[in-house]
Amino acid sequence: MANESILIVDDNPVNMKLIRILLTGEGYDTRTAADAQQALNVLQEFSPRLILMDIQLPGMDGLELTRQLKANPATRDITILGLTAYAMKGDEERILAAGCDGYIPKPIDTRTLPELILHYLER
Name 30's Cβ contacts closer than 8 Å, sequence gap at least 6: 5, 6, 7, 8, 19, 20, 23, 24
Q: Which has the higher per-residue pLDDT, 9 or 90?
A: 9
3-class secondary-structure state, position 95: helix
CA–CA gap between residue 18 and residue 9 (Å, rounded): 12
pLDDT in tens, 29-64: 999 999 999 999 999 999 999 999 999 999 999 999
Query: What CATH number is given for 5-121 in this structure?
Result: 3.40.50.2300
Residue 66: which pLDDT band, with cuts at 50, 70 and 90? very high
Q: What is the pLDDT of residue 90?
A: 76
Q: How many helices and strands, by DSSP H and E, does the chain display?
A: 5, 5
Q: Is the pTM of this model over 0.85?
A: yes
DSSP 14-46: HHHHHHHHHHHHTT-EEEEESSHHHHHHHHTT-
Domain ranges of the chain: 5-121
Per-chain mean pLDDT for the chain: 93
